């Protein structure tokens, strides 16, 4: 059974940093692109970033470029999101998701997500 | 960036109804479109990808159609467990989601 479990969320002041983790199990983690998707309270879904199987390609939504870094450790079956210079508008539930693409791979980060974690809440407030 | 719109934003329906949700892309995306269902407090669930391919385990009352810029999600006979919010997502380029369509009980 595919399982994705996020952790690391919490309350942080504006300008602060936080590192999210996602522990994957039930599939060969190193064979899949992975994404982070967020959802502000009462709002819709927003793709944040994704990363290729070997970490050689990473893509970000414009609003987080230069502040967030996605990474992975295939030996630990784990995905990460380092978030720096946090703003109030980054407040959201952050989901980790397994990606799929056309023909089974994501060209240039163009993926949809077939499995999602339960999410972890990040609140940016003073 | 490719912008996705959905209509309607919300509506009420009854169990047994046939419902259709529309999604439009700001530019052509071929068939690189997915549909998700989300219930309150839960993670999204993939229903359809490649515009019309049903994800494994998803009931056959769900179907998708369209290509280019205009897409639809149809639920042929609405069940109680289908009351939720539905999102479309393009993956022709960096992924982006529509604003969602909430289906609630009439």
The candidate with the shortest Cα–Cα distance to B61, out of B48, B42, B50, B49, is B48
Taken as a whole, chain A contains a residue count of 126
Distances (CA, A) of A27 to A4, A8, B34, B43: 10, 22, 22, 19
- The terminus-to-terminus CA distance of chain B in angstroms comes to 36
At residue B50, the pLDDT reads 95
Inter-chain Cβ pairs, chain A and chain B, closer than 8 A: 63
Minimum CA–CA partner of B31 in chain A: A102
Please check whether residue A64 touches B, CB under 8 A. Answer: no
A116 touches chain B (CB under 8 A): yes
Q: pLDDT at position A111, please?
A: 92
Distance from CA of A73 to the nearest CA of B (A): 23
Q: What pLDDT is stored for residue B92 in this prediction?
A: 94
pLDDT tens for each residue of chain B, 106 residues long: 999 999 999 999 999 999 999 999 999 999 999 999 999 999 999 999 999 999 999 999 999 999 999 999 999 999 999 999 999 999 999 999 999 999 998 8
Tell me how far apart the alpha carbons of residues A79 and B69 are, in angstroms, rounded to a whole number. 33
pLDDT at A103: 72
CA torsion sign for A58, A59, A63, A65 is positive
Q: Per-residue pLDDT for chain A (126 aa), expressed as one digit of tens each?
A: 999 999 999 999 999 999 999 999 999 999 999 999 999 999 999 999 999 999 999 999 999 999 999 999 999 999 999 999 999 999 999 999 999 987 767 888 889 999 999 999 999 999
The nearest CA of chain B is from the CA of A112 a distance in Å of 6
Residue A40 has what pLDDT?
A: 98
Instruction: Output the CA torsion sign for B28, B34, B35, B39.
Output: negative
Q: Other CB atoms closer than 10 Å to residue B100's CB: what's the count?
A: 20
């Amino acid at each position: 059974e595919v399982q994705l479990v996020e952790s690391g969320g919490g309350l942080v002041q504006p300008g602060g940093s936080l590192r999210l983790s996602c522990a994957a199990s039930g599939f060969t983690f190193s064979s899949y692109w992975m994404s982070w998707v967020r959802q502000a309270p009462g709002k819709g879904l927003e793709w944040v970033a994704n990363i290729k199987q070997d970490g050689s390609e990473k893509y970000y939504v414009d609003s987080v470029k230069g502040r967030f870094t996605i990474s992975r450790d295939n030996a630990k079956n784990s995905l990460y999101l380092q978030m720096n210079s946090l703003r109030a508008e980054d407040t959201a539930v952050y989901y980790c998701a397994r990606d799929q693409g056309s023909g089974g791979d994501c060209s240039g980060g163009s993926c949809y997500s077939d499995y999602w974690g339960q999410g972890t809440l990040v609140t940016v407030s003073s | 960036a490719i912008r996705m719109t959905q209509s309607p934003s919300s509506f009420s329906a009854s169990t047994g109804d046939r419902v259709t949700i529309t999604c439009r892309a700001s530019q052509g995306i071929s068939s690189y479109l997915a549909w998700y269902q989300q219930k309150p407090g839960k993670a999204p669930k993939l229903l359809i990808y490649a515009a019309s391919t049903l994800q494994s385990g998803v009931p056959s009352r769900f179907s998708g159609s369209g290509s280019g810029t205009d897409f639809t999600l149809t639920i042929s006979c609405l069940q109680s467990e289908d009351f939720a919010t539905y999102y479309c997502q393009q993956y022709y380029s960096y992924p982006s989601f529509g604003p969602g369509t909430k289906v609630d009980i009439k």
